[in-house]
Amino acid sequence: MAKIKGYELKAIKTFTGMEGLGFEANLYSKNKKIGRVLDDASGGPLQTFIEDKEKERQFEEDTKNWGEELGKDSFMIDEIFIDELFTLKEKERIFKQAQKEGYKGIVVLTDRYKEDLFSPRRLDEFYNIPEQCTDGDVEQGEYDKKEYYVKLDDFNIA
């Protein structure tokens, strides 16, 4: 299952809001439900609901540490973390569909926003890869990052 630092999203429901795609999901830590998250797609911040204060404090500490490991500012790091979880879960869904269709896995090419914030960003590209393909067979081109997924464990980020 798609996890980052032992956290995962389950029972994801997506919908269209005023500002695009929104979602609601249950938040799990170490396979136990600790709360829920809501992105109502209104242009406002993502909302996290964790009733147990100790679990909420632990979540905040874990997301802050995760951000520091990646060199990210702690501003809104919990939202960025949840967004990364949601994105990873979607990649896992696409991977499972590719495997049902007989493919070995998927390659995802991503392009992040540039520092000047004015340069256009390419949309992520997903490629199904056949059995005989290797990581080197897919050209990264001008994309910033290439992710290669061939087993479910690839979606469990420690």
Domains in the chain: boundaries = 3-157
Backbone Cα Rg of the chain: 17
In order along its 158 residues, the chain shows pLDDT tens digits of 899 999 999 999 999 989 888 999 999 999 999 999 999 999 888 999 999 999 999 999 999 999 998 887 778 899 989 999 999 999 999 999 999 999 999 999 887 765 555 666 678 889 898 988 877 788 877 788 888 999 999 999 88
The first and second tokens of residue 143, run together, are 């994309």
Does residue 39 contact residue 46 with C-beta atoms inside 8 Å?
A: yes
Tokens of 79: 């939202």
pTM, entire model: 0.87
